[in-house]
Structure 1
């Protein structure tokens, strides 16, 4: 007689374990694998510099509209609408990613005494302010299109030393996946080469 309560308790425990396993299996079936993550690459090499290395620069996090302020890779359709590139995302929010890669590109260019971001305890001469106006694949033209507006501002005076808009379009064989991301990387690198050379001339 004393054995039956033990069997009942064992049955309840086994039943609970089976139910938990079934629920875990169901939740696994409903979950989606995250989309592939893509890198934005810094510029590795530049034309040979002329003149002395000078100036210290702070690169602020670029500003962008909400559509571009995320890790989504955007595609502009022929009808003017914008959607996310399927099965792809950046490794971080685009403005933060741009800031990191632009700083790395300046470092690789070796044309400034120092470059960093706000909070790096850098006694900067200037700040580089960037507004991202376009960073997308255009489906109607099969191009990767980038447009950034840059301002060089005196760190202590707050005065604008120079301003310029950089626009680059690169043809792509596909508006999907790795080919689209490769075209965006190509366009970004071309824009950043221009940005770095222009900035170092102004400073």
Structure 2
């Protein structure tokens, strides 16, 4: 990219960040609409040789709420006009379970009655609008633990980004949903490879 082209790109990013800040400030008093996530529909997976349960999810205090986060560098803000129907960590876990079911793995999931062989621990690290890049950013750590020994079988970090065309809550949530869909699909494939 030429020097002039790079300057135009930087100017565009600054303008987008400024517009985002202005939009956030102007609609801070707007009533919040409740938005949901959808479960992903990954390809069908072979049944696991073992039962897996979904353990307590982990998230930082800022993520473990009903509010939609906006990150601008090191600063965090709340997206006005939109919220989740429940704590994000619980919502993500529920949609991840549905994603496993959509992959044909309902019988491999320990619903509480059977004794599970493995646990899937989920740690939400990022689930936000990144205002500096105008992208939805989702990052999740998934850990498979053998319950008989407590040994960590495998751990992986899944990160995805998608462009956010507008700061309207519906647009932000649509991009977050798209990124979460990619992450959930990759988590199913990760567990399917290990079990």
TM-score by length of 1: 0.77
Instruction: Note the residue ranges of structure 1 that are not aligned, 5 or more in a row.
Output: 1-31
Taking CA–CA contacts closer than 8 Å with sequence separation of 6 or more, which of the two structures ends up with the larger relative contact order?
2
Check conservation: 2:42, 2:99, Cα contact below 8 A.
no
Counterpart residue number, 1:194: 186
Counterpart residue number, 1:76: 71
Are positions 1:101 and 2:98 aligned together? Answer: no
The number of residues matched between the two structures is 167
In structure 2, what is the Cα distance between the partners aligned to 1:84 and 1:143? 15
In structure 1, what is the Cα distance between the partners aligned to 2:91 and 2:37? 7
Counterpart residue number, 2:25: none
Are positions 1:141 and 2:133 aligned together? Answer: yes
Query: Is the alpha carbon distance of 1:96 and 1:48 closer, same or farther for their aligned partners in structure 2, counting shifts above 3 Å?
Result: closer
Larger Rg: 1
Counterpart residue number, 2:160: 168
Instruction: Note the residue ranges of structure 2 that are not aligned, 5 or more in a row.
Output: 1-28
Are positions 1:65 and 2:60 aligned together? Answer: yes
Deviation at 1:192, TM superposition (A): 0.5
Deviation at 1:96, TM superposition (A): 0.8
Q: CA RMSD in A?
A: 1.8
What stretches of structure 1 move > 4 A for 4+ residues in a row?
Answer: none
What is the aligned counterpart of 1:122 among 103, 111, 114? 114
